[in-house]
């Protein structure tokens, strides 16, 4: 009877998880993390689930002795990930910076999953974030009834990470007001969080560190103070170096998301992904791939993440309103909106690109006509 109930409980949990859009990294890739743990005999910092070597293998992928293939979570320069992991093994916090769509959040989540086994200690930075969200808050019913006490204290994710010796993630650091940002200085330098109301403090356990992300393109950015910046080791996350690398990233992420969204992977032919990525790269760089023609760039970043979104939108159109095969008309519907963020300046740039580049490529005539119809 007990075994039957346990089996039913597991089946119920699996059914519930299947309905989620995306599981946390530590649950989605639990098998890979367990396999790495089983073969990981290298030295690891205190309270780390895996050694630095195993963390890098988990993120970049590889083949283990047992035959299990660890899937790549990030495609790019290995040294960047090694520097990020090595930073977290020291007393310096890690700042991942770069333009939107360069996998900063994705990498930070997987770092936390591999190192602490928990990626859910997260603070989402916004312009309205208060200092309490970084330090601690209060249960006001208990505070009014009993005054400041341990029972009335509500720890922030930062405090929880300090108490348990885990990583905490802070998204969009530069969106947080400057005076609130500086609440992190004592935490990062002294590894102490004072609680003057209780006449005590929280001291960080070994394994505690902070991963922050920030971009330098969006509006509403607050510069970091020099005192806070010194507490971070900054790693710049670059865009994919080559067309082939970016196509590979888009292809793999589209296949993963397509399974979750019940979109057939065959609806995204590699030729369409190559066309889209080529357009994004040319508009980003301000020149064609062969370097012969100079181009104007739109205000949008046209990141790899946006390319993935365009393909998924096209897939949805093809699946639900077409014959299931991604066509130029499906791609154009999402592509135009991705490029034109400013209806005046960006539209001129886009139309000029269509007439000077897309129109001149014979194999792209269907895409040219579809994009012109959208405009």
CA distance 136 to 125: 15
Superfamily of structural domain 2-236: P-loop containing nucleotide triphosphate hydrolases (3.40.50.300)
**What are the angstrom distances between the C-alpha of 71 and each of 14, 86, 269, 329?**
22, 21, 21, 33
pLDDT band at 262 (very low <50, low <70, confident <90, very high): low
Pairwise CA distance, residues 125 & 64, whole Å? 37
Cα–Cα distance measured from residue 241 to residue 42, given in angstroms and rounded to the nearest whole number: 32
Lowest mean pLDDT among 76-90, 214-228, 274-288, 361-375: 214-228
Helix, strand, coil shares, percent, the chain, to 5: 55, 10, 35
User: For residues 36 and 50, what is the distance between their CA atoms, to the nearest angstrom?
Assistant: 8
38 pLDDT more than 70:
yes
Average pLDDT score, the chain: 89
pLDDT confidence of residue 99 = 86
Residue 5 — very low, low, confident or very high, per pLDDT cuts 50/70/90? low
> For 57-112, how does the pLDDT look when each residue is reduced to its tens digit (9 = 90+)?
999 999 887 678 899 999 989 999 999 999 999 999 999 999 888 899 999 999 99
pLDDT at residue 37, rounded to an integer: 94
Contact residues for 68 (Cβ-Cβ < 8 A; gap 6+): 31, 32, 35
Percentage of the residues of the chain whose pLDDT score is greater than 90: 66
b/e map 155-168, b = 16+ CB within 10 Å: bbbbbbbbebbbbb
Residue 6 has pLDDT above 70, yes or no: no
Q: What are the pLDDT digits (tens) for 179-211? A: 999 999 999 999 999 999 999 999 999 999 999
Q: What angle do CA 61, 54, 239 make, to 5 degrees?
A: 45
In the chain, domain spans: 2-236, 243-374
CA-derived radius of gyration, the chain:
24
pLDDT higher than threshold 60 for residue 155 = yes
Give the DSSP letter of residue 360: T
């Amino acid at each position: 009877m007990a075994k039957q109930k346990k089996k039913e409980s597991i089946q119920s949990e699996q059914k519930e998880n299947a309905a989620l859009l995306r599981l946390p990294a530590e649950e989605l890739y639990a098998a890979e993390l367990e396999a790495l743990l089983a073969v990981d005999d290298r030295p690891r910092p205190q309270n780390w689930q895996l050694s630095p070597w195993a963390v890098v293998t988990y993120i970049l992928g590889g083949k283990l002795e047992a035959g299990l293939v660890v899937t790549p979570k990030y495609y790019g320069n290995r040294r960047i990930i090694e520097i990020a992991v090595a930073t977290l093994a020291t007393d310096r916090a890690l700042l991942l910076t770069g333009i939107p769509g360069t996998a900063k959040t994705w990498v930070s989540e997987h770092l936390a999953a591999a190192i602490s086994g928990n990626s859910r200690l997260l603070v989402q930075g916004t312009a309205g974030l208060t200092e309490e969200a970084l330090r601690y808050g209060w249960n006001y019913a208990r505070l009014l009834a009993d005054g400041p006490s341990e029972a009335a204290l509500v720890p922030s994710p930062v405090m929880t990470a300090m108490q348990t010796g885990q990583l905490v993630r802070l998204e969009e650091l530069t969106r947080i007001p400057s005076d609130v940002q500086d609440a992190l200085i004592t935490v990062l330098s002294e590894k102490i969080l004072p609680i003057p109301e209780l006449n005590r403090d929280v001291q960080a356990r070994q394994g505690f560190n902070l991963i922050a992300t920030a971009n330098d393109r969006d509006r509403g950015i607050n510069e970091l103070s020099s005192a806070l910046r010194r507490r971070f080791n900054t790693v710049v996350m670059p865009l994919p170096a080559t067309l082939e690398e970016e196509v590979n990233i888009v292809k793999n992420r589209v296949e993963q998301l397509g399974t979750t969204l019940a979109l057939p992977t065959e609806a995204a032919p590699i030729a369409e992904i190559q066309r889209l990525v080529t357009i994004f790269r040319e508009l980003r760089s301000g020149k064609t791939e062969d370097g012969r023609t100079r181009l104007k760039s739109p205000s949008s970043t046209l990141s790899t993440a946006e390319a993935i979104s365009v393909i998924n939108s096209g897939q949805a159109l093809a699946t639900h309103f077409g014959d299931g095969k991604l066509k130029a008309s499906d791609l154009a519907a999402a592509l135009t909106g991705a490029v034109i963020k400013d209806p005046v300046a960006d539209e001129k740039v886009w139309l000029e690109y269509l007439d000077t580049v897309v129109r001149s490529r014979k194999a792209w005539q269907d895409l040219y006509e579809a994009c012109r119809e959208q405009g």
